[in-house]
């Protein structure tokens, strides 16, 4: 009989191994796909990274025939009444019997009981079983996007009509103003490069670098559409910023473009990035 209960510290190792088996079979993490394309990053395999991220706190496990058959973790952000269904998996030998549906339903009920008014979950589009489960338990409004990556050697510097340069401390106010005007969050962290046209800020890119792994990801790509930069020029900005980090030893770059944001995706491609996978974020109102 299926038994769903809160996880304990004693479940952690079994959760880790179950997750590695399930996500490995599904090519189900971005870390897995990056490693498949670019090799082992920073001396740690995707499975090492995945294991390190598994938490027994705020998790439920499903037991069948007295064995751990699946788990689902969640995060509840009280200040926004936001519930996030996180890492979840069912052991390959137990898949297709409704376990994930039962587990995810359990987590959704639990998050609503905690006070969540909005719930969200993210997955990769080549895992149709996960998409099906999320839709079955009531998630909807899918928002699709693309994760892209490039090795340092693949970076291209397309012709750019814009002036591209690293941001200085004196640019902070202009960057913040652009964020406010476009209604996107302003975050002063990371390495920022700007593209200017006619002396005004037209776009900026902010890269977050993991020096140990020698990887960086584009934490923010912000384009002022009124300035009509075009994909080549924005690609020039991305490539310029990445090349600067590549010169300091970064080997692999990743970025994200929402499906409806064709300009960003074309800009990444102009810079030498290619699509790693398509992803989807669902939401649900409680
Ligand atoms: C996603 C996962 C948790 C589903 O576990 P599960 O216990 O097999 O799921 P369920 O049995 O409750 O439901 C699976 C549903 O997907 C459907 N499904 C399975 N494979 C499918 C495929 N290739 N195409 C379309 N639908 C598929 C099943 O038919 C079922 O739907 P149904 O009940 O309407 O028939 C499991 O496959 C897994 O661990 N995958 C790897 C890790 C992962 O992707 N985790 C979630 C992503 S964040």
Q: What is the pLDDT of residue 183?
A: 94
Mean pLDDT by 10 residues, the chain (286 residues): 97 98 98 97 95 98 96 98 98 97 98 98 98 98 98 90 90 95 90 93 96 95 91 95 95 97 97 98 96
In angstroms, the Cα distances linking 255 to 168, 197, 278 are 23, 24, 12
> Do you know the residue count of the chain?
286
Q: Is 118 in the pocket of ligand 1 (CB under 6 A)?
A: no
Q: Is the CB of 140 under 6 A from ligand 1?
A: no
258, exposed or middle or buried, with CB in 10 Å at 0-12, 13-18, 19+?
A: middle
Task: Identify the three-state secondary structure at position 88.
Answer: strand
pLDDT in tens, 128-138: 999 999 999 99
Which of 2, 132, 134, 137 has most ligand 1 atoms within 8 Å of its beta carbon, as the pocket-test mutant? 132
Probe residue for ligand 1, chosen from 61, 127, 129 as the CB with the greatest number of ligand atoms within 8 Å: 129
The candidate with the shortest Cα–Cα distance to 172, out of 186, 160, 153, is 186
Q: Which fold has domain 3-138?
A: Aminopeptidase (3.40.630)
Distance of CA 107 to the CA centre of its chain: 21
| 149-158 pLDDT per residue, tens | 999 999 998 8
CATH 3.20.20.70: does it fit domain 149-279? Answer: no
Nearest CA owner, ligand 1 atom 23: 128
What is the per-residue pLDDT for 72? 98
pLDDT of residue 227: 87
The domains of the chain are located at 3-138, 149-279
At 162 the pLDDT is 82
Q: What is the DSSP string of 12-37?
A: HHHHHHHHHHHHHHHT-SHHHHHHHH
Burial group, residue 64, by CB count within 10 angstroms (0-12, 13-18, 19+):
middle
- CA 129 to ligand 1 centroid distance, Å: 3
CA distances to 24, 54, 100 from 62, rounded to whole Å, are 20, 16, 9
């Amino acid at each position: 009989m299926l038994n769903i209960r809160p996880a304990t510290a004693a479940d952690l190792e079994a959760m880790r191994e179950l997750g590695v088996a399930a996500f490995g079979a599904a090519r189900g993490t971005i870390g897995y796909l990056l490693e498949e394309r670019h090799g082992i990053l920073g001396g740690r395999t995707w499975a090492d990274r995945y294991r390190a991220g598994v938490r027994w706190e705020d998790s439920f496990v499903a037991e069948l025939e007295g064995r751990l058959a699946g788990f689902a973790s969640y995060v509840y952000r009280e200040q926004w009444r936001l519930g996030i269904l996180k890492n979840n998996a069912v052991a390959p030998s137990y898949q297709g019997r409704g376990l994930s549906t039962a587990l995810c339903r359990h987590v959704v009920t639990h998050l609503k009981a905690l006070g969540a008014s909005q719930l969200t979950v993210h997955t990769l589009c080549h895992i149709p079983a996960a998409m099906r489960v999320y839709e079955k338990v009531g998630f909807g409004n899918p928002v699709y996007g693309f994760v892209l990556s490039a090795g340092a050697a693949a970076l291209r510097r397309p012709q750019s009509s814009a002036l591209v340069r690293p941001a200085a401390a004196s640019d902070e106010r202009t960057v913040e103003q652009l964020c406010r005007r476009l209604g996107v969050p302003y975050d002063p962290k990371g390495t920022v490069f700007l593209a200017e046209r006619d002396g005004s800020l037209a776009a900026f890119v902010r890269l977050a670098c993991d020096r140990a792994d020698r990887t960086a990801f584009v934490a923010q790509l912000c384009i002022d559409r009124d300035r009509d930069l075009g994909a080549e020029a924005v690609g020039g900005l991305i490539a310029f910023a990445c090349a600067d980090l590549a010169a300091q030893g970064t080997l692999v770059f990743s970025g994200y473009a929402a499906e409806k944001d064709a300009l960003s995706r074309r800009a990444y491609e102009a810079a030498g990035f290619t699509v790693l996978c398509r992803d989807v974020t669902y939401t649900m109102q409680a």
